[in-house]
Amino acid sequence: MHFINGLNRKWFEEKLELSHGNHKPLLSMEGLRGVAVFLVFLVHYSSLVNPWISGQALHVSDFVHSLGNIGVDLFFVLSGYLIYGTVISKPTFAPVGYAKRRIQRIYPTFLFVLALYLILSFVFPSESKLPHGLTNSVVYIVQNALLLPGIFNITPIITVAWSLSYEVFYYIIIPILIPLFRLRAWTSNKRIVFWGIVSVLAFIIWELEGGPIRLVMFVSGIILFELHRNKQVSISKYGTRMLLVALAIFGLRTVFTYSFALSLMAVYVLFLFMCLCAFNSKSFLHKWLIFTPLRWLGNMSYSYYLFHGITLKFCFLVMGVVFPPAMDNAHIYFWLWIPLFIATLCTSFVLFVVIERPLSLAVKNK
């Protein structure tokens, strides 16, 4: 039995452990991705289960749905750290190679899932988002393939794909801003001040005028890189509490009314210092973030992020036939999430092993 268990673990390690090349891995970052994608799961689970629940469970569902939204913001912080670090650390920048790596990282898995969504749009026309008319449908599909929904007011075919437009915008703008302002020649302190000013101005402008305010979370990741890598700032305590406070700030928006921009500003700061704590190997936060199953979830988080929604939707469609939504229950919310989370893990794992790992991660992306 121990031999079989050892073989199973070895097989999963081969599939889910990622090579970091010559770089020292930040294992806690893998765990943070796992936390982030689990929060995203809670958002969509809470949305889809609502027709079946009643009573206090509805309030819990709304609370969890609201707090889970910051999972995407945590992804943005981590992307901000990694991409900025990649560009700012190199004395010479090769845009073609950089673009190829970004395309290789995003598109194979995304296009596979997009194609599956399109096939299912014809199989289940009642669930289709395609507009009427061939021309309109082609234009809409091209818009989605170019990752325009999100930054632009376009409904994404893949619900969560709106965030990819934010990622792509950041991928494009950072290699432009760094040479434009000659930031490589600045001291780390000056860059921190610069990005701090950018953040303050962004919050002020977006509070007054609106817009894609969540882009500012990438800047939190930029400052995180400067503090962690260049200033060697370290925090050893309160990281887990910071995460819980950030979750509470967004969860309590279902109870109290306060500014979204101010809420995001608080999370911006909390995630910055939380990550500094997570990257400290002596902290309690680091210790539980490097829990192997959580890291493995983080390593397959892109596949999970894109594919968990379609798995949940299918499960609830089947459930609607067996248990119509009219048969509401006050407790189903609390016991249904575990089997459905397991179901999403299984389907996303297959996508990761078959598509993402061989096509996007065979060569270490930088």
Structure tokens at 156: 């994404």
Segment 245-257, tens digit of pLDDT: 999 999 999 999 9
Contact (Cβ atoms closer than 8 angstroms) between residue 304 and residue 345 = yes
SS3 329: strand
* 233-237: Cβ within 8 A, 24+ apart: 233/276, 234/276, 234/279, 234/280, 235/273, 235/276, 235/277, 235/280, 235/283, 236/277, 236/280, 236/282, 236/283, 237/277, 237/283, 237/284
Segment 75-124, tens digit of pLDDT: 999 999 999 999 998 888 899 999 999 999 999 999 999 999 999 999 98
Q: How confident is the model at residue 214 (pLDDT cuts 50, 70, 90)?
A: very high
What residue has token string 């009427």?
Answer: 132
Contact (Cβ atoms closer than 8 angstroms) between residue 281 and residue 100 = no
Residues 6+ positions from 309 with CB-CB distance below 8 Å: 44, 158, 159, 160
Q: How confident is the model at residue 1 (pLDDT cuts 50, 70, 90)?
A: very low
Segment 300-349, tens digit of pLDDT: 999 999 999 999 999 999 998 888 886 667 788 998 999 999 999 999 99
43 pLDDT above the threshold of 80: yes
Segment 122-153, tens digit of pLDDT: 998 888 999 999 999 999 999 999 999 999 99
Mean model confidence pLDDT for the chain: 92
Upper half-sphere CA count for residue 316 (Cβ side, 13 Å): 24
Structure tokens at 302: 């892109």
Closest C-alpha among 41, 318, 315, 320 to residue 159? 41
Contact (Cβ atoms closer than 8 angstroms) between residue 194 and residue 177 = no
* Average of per-residue pLDDT across 288-309: 97
Upper half-sphere CA count for residue 44 (Cβ side, 13 Å): 25
35 pLDDT above the threshold of 80: yes
Domain ranges of the chain: 25-360
pTM (two decimals):
0.94
pLDDT of residue 23: 67
Closest C-alpha among 310, 277, 293 to residue 113? 310
Query: Could you please report the per-residue DSSP string of 26-82?
Result: -HHHHHHHHHHHHHHHHHHHHHHHGGGB-THHHHHHHHHHHHHTHHHHHHHHHHHHH
Helices (H), 210-300: 216-225, 239-251, 260-278, 284-289, 292-299
pLDDT of residue 328: 66
Phi and psi at residue 115, to the nearest 5°:
-60, -40
Which amino acid makes up residue 57?
A
- Of all residues in the chain, the percent with pLDDT exceeding 70 is 95
pLDDT of residue 152: 93
* Average of per-residue pLDDT across 65-73: 96
29 pLDDT above the threshold of 60: yes
Burial of 108 (0-12, 13-18, 19+ CB in 10 A): middle
pLDDT of residue 13: 85
